[in-house]
Chains A and B, each alone.
Chain A
Amino acid sequence: AQKITQTQPGMFVQEKEAVTLDCTYDTSDPSYGLFWYKQPSSGEMIFLIYQGSYDQQNATEGRYSLNFQKARKSANLVISASQLGDSAMYFCAMSSRGANNLFFGTGTRLTVIP
Chain B
Amino acid sequence: DAGVIQSPRHEVTEMGQEVTLRCKPISGHNSLFWYRQTMMRGLELLIYFNNNVPIDDSGMPEDRFSAKMPNASFSTLKIQPSEPRDSAVYFCASSLGTLNTEAFFGQGTRLTVV
Contact = CB atoms under 8 A, between A and B. Distances in A.
Q: Do A and B bind each other?
A: yes
Interface stretch (A17-25, A67-75, A79-87, A92-100): A92-100
B43 A52 contact: no
Interface in B40-59: 42-43, 45, 48, 50, 55-56
Of B31, B43, B107, most A-chain CB atoms within 10 Å: B43
B103 interface: yes
Contacts, number: 53
Nearest to B102: A47
Interface in B57-93: 89, 91, 93
Interface residues of A, number: 24
A11 interface: no
Contact of B102 (A35, A101, A105): A35
A97 B105 contact: no
B28 to A, nearest CB: 17
A40 interface: no
Contacts of A45: 91, 93, 105
B100 A33 contact: yes
A100 B45 contact: no
A102 B105 contact: no
Given A44-B107, A100-B55, A101-B45, A50 B93 contact: no
Contacts of A43: 89, 107-108
B43 to A, nearest CB: 4
Interface in A26-48: 31-33, 35, 37, 43-45, 47
A37 B104 CA distance: 10
